[in-house]
Amino acid sequence: MTDPLAASGIVVVDKPEGMTSHDVVARLRRIFGTRKVGHAGTLDPMATGVLVAGIERGTKLLAHLVAEDKVYETTIRLGAATTTDDAEGEVTATTDASGVTDEQIATAIEHLTGDIMQVPATVSAIKIDGKRAHELARAGEQVDIPARPVTVHSFEYTVRRGEHVDIDARVHCSSGTYIRALARDLGEHLQVGGHLIALRRLRVGPFSLDEASTLTDLEASPALSLSMDEALTRGWPVLDVTQDEYEALAMGKWLEPRGLKGVHAAQGPDGRVVALVKEQGKRLATTFVARPSTLS
């Protein structure tokens, strides 16, 4: 029997510099010949690396991937603050950073590691009263974004001193962490200003740069990085269900609890995943149905 989800899944793209995430989606729509393309986790135009895109029904899976942790490689330049907290913005202040010691940098980075409160970058995709923060900022409006809790799991770095004081870092962080904001805050802690001059995302949850394809590769040979089943079993622990249970979940029905913790991918006897499930009170309920009974 033909799988109705054969054309659905995930594409891990190595986004090039200079393109917006929306630009990448537009290219993928042409490459795969479908309007049903979306992405999880926006990358700024200057950033490169892992951009996870959903194709066909894979777009429905993206909302469940947004909460995944991420790993970045970045370079932070001390001594200048910019309007966008990165090299694309206008410089608002400069300070000689040559006198900043390694010990001061270590203390500042320690302060920005672990569970912290972070004010997102002003030029960001966060919505304020229904409008994107970057749209308000570019229109000259005052943008006041409240601080939010994020987690910087690790902040490994080396310092390069020459014409500039640059910090090359590898950051493992929770979803919602702005690396540009880390650069800004690091500069503020050191009282010299700081901004990003390079950013590359190495991993989003279980999806890494190792399996990413360039747009050029995809144009030459369009192919999913992972099928729906592969993406679901990669991202969540597997729960084997019977055929009767599979059919019940396909209709959105709930099952008896199993004592599970967290979200699981419910996999039928044929190896296909029917849904993501999670225990809620006295029932095992679906949080996302990959193969609804209405799908044909």
pLDDT tens-digit series, residues 22-41:
999 999 999 999 999 999 98
Q: List the domain boundaries for the chain.
A: 9-68+205-229, 70-93+100-201, 236-289
**Model confidence pLDDT, tens digit, residues 212-243:** 999 999 999 999 999 999 999 998 999 999 99
236-289 matches 70-93+100-201 in CATH topology: no
**Helices and strands, number each (H, E), in the chain:** 7, 18
**Model confidence pLDDT, tens digit, residues 51-87:** 999 999 999 999 887 778 999 999 999 999 998 899 9
Which class in CATH covers the domain with range 70-93+100-201? Answer: alpha beta
Which class in CATH covers the domain with range 236-289? Answer: mainly beta
Contacts of 259 (CB under 8 A, 6+ apart): 279
Query: Catalytic: 115?
Result: no
pTM of this prediction?
A: 0.89
> Which residue from 59, 63, 57, 22 is spatially nearest to 42, judged by alpha carbons?
22
Locate 144 and state its tokens. 């006041």
**Model confidence pLDDT, tens digit, residues 102-156:** 999 999 999 999 999 999 887 655 555 555 544 545 555 566 788 999 999 999 9
What end-to-end distance do the CA atoms of the chain give, in Å? 11
Domain 9-68+205-229 matching CATH 3.20.20.10: the answer reads: no
**Active-site hit among 14, 23, 44, 69:** 44
Please report, as a single letter, which amino acid is at residue 102: D
Spatial distance between the Cα atoms of 188 and 183, rounded to a whole number of angstroms = 9
